[in-house]
């Protein structure tokens, strides 16, 4: 075997017994072994992996920290953006309107910033903006609410059908879909709709652009009946009455077309559906059937 091949094999520990004998016969065998064996005993400087790993981690940490320096221009931009966001929030979002919403059969009493008291009937929304309250006492109403307004500057209620302005009084606003009704209990109330402006005196009722002056003072109530868990109607179409009924009891009422426009004058309670149904149906000699959440009123 070639000398080089022999030595290479020896260095790789691949010599067979016969080859080893051949290798030992090489003239410089002893020199080679000594070099190889002495080298074997050399020890490289100690490497402390655990310590080095800790060192590595700190240098990685500082690297990532120094990386922030490159972000500095972005940080400036970010700071400005945050500032603007803050100003935007302070001027816009913090003035977010307060919204009070009621569901079926729910009534809510709200005290406004000027201590005016609003009682909100079922299925209604009331909004106001506390930030501009000191300048404009204004609320937006969708539904029905009874206002007891504290004395002061003009207080206005905005609805989809018109604006009611007062100085300090008590009145009820019913704004259901296109049905609009304002009842004045105390003081005077100005109602402004797209077509006209009217002034209501205590006992007066404004209904769908028609001012109905109180017939006699005895009918002038001190507060709306729904406050005491009843709803009163005066010459109101039965369809409308039953819609109000649905707001207080979680039911759907179906009604024959022919009786929809009969005018109802009377009251129903919010506390007992059976009695309420009777007080609506008996005056018209209607019979009612109840199945689950459905109530049917019909003429026998």
Partner 1 sequence: MSTKNTEGVCKETVYNRVFMAHSKNLFNFLYYKYGSLYSPEDKVQEAFVKLWENCSKVPEEKAKSYLFTIANNLTLNAYAHQKVVLKFQKTKPQNYTNESPEFVLEEQEYNARLQKAIAKLSEAQRSAFLLNRIEGKKHKEIAEMLGISKKAVEKRIYGALAKLKKEITELK
> Binding mask 50-89 vs partner 1 (x if CB under 8 A, - otherwise)?
--xx-xx--xx--x--------------------------
Q: Least distance to partner 1 from the beta carbon of 74, Å?
A: 19
Q: How far is the CB of 82 from partner 1 (least distance, A)?
A: 29
Rounded to whole angstroms, how far apart are CA atoms 260 and 244? 14
Question: Which of 49/194 has CB closer to partner 1?
Answer: 49
Cβ at position 68, least distance to partner 1 in Å: 15
Rounded (5°) CA angle 152-205-193: 70
Q: Tell me how far, at minimum, the Cβ of 4 lies from partner 1, in Å.
A: 6
In contact, 211 and 197? CB cutoff 8 Å: no
Asked if residues 295 and 277 have their Cβ atoms less than 8 Å apart, the reply is yes
Quote the DSSP letter at residue 257: G
Q: Contact region for partner 1 (CB under 8 A) — 6-14, 200-208, 217-225, 244-252? A: 6-14
Residue 267 pairs with which residues in a beta bridge? 232
Would you give the binding string for partner 1 spanning residues 12-51, x where CB under 8 A is met? xx--------------x--xx-xxx-xxxxxxxxxx-x--
Question: Which residue, 56 or 104, has its beta carbon nearer to partner 1?
Answer: 56
Q: Which residues of 120-146 are buried (b: 16+ CB within 10 A; e: fewer)?
A: bbbbbebbbeeeeeeeebbbbbbbbbb
CA–CA dist 34, 31 (Å, integer) = 5
Binding site for partner 1 (CB under 8 A): 4, 7-8, 11-13, 28, 31-32, 34-36, 38-47, 49, 52-53, 55-56, 59-60, 63
């Amino acid at each position: 075997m070639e000398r080089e091949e022999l030595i290479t094999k020896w260095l790789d520990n691949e010599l067979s017994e016969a080859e080893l004998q051949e290798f030992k016969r090489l003239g410089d065998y002893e020199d080679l072994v000594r070099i190889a064996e002495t080298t074997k005993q050399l020890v490289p400087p100690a490497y402390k992996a655990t310590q080095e790993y800790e060192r590595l981690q700190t240098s990685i940490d500082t690297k990532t920290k120094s990386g922030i320096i490159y972000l500095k221009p972005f940080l400036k931009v970010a700071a400005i953006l945050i500032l603007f966001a803050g100003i935007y929030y302070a001027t816009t979002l913090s003035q977010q309107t307060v919204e009070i919403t009621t569901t079926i059969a729910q009534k809510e009493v709200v005290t406004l910033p000027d201590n005016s008291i609003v009682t909100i009937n079922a299925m209604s929304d009331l909004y106001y903006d506390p930030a501009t309250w000191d300048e404009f006492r204004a609320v937006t109403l969708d539904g029905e609410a009874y206002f007891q307004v504290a004395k002061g500057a003009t207080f206005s209620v905005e609805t989809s059908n018109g604006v009611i302005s007062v100085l300090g009084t008590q009145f009820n606003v019913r704004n259901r879909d296109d049905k609009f009704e304002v009842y004045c209990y105390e003081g005077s109330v100005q109602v402004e709709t797209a077509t006209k402006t009217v002034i209501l005196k205590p006992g007066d009722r404004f209904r769908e652009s028609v001012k109905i002056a109180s017939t006699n003072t005895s009918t002038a109530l001190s507060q709306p009946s729904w406050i005491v868990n009843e709803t009163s109607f005066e010459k109101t179409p039965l369809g409308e009455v039953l819609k109000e009924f649905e707001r207080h009891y979680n039911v759907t009422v179906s009604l024959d077309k022919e009786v929809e426009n009969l005018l109802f004058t009377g009251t129903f309670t919010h506390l007992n559906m059976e009695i309420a149904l009777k007080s609506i149906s008996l005056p018209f000699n209607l019979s009612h059937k109840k199945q689950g959440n459905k109530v049917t009123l019909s003429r026998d």
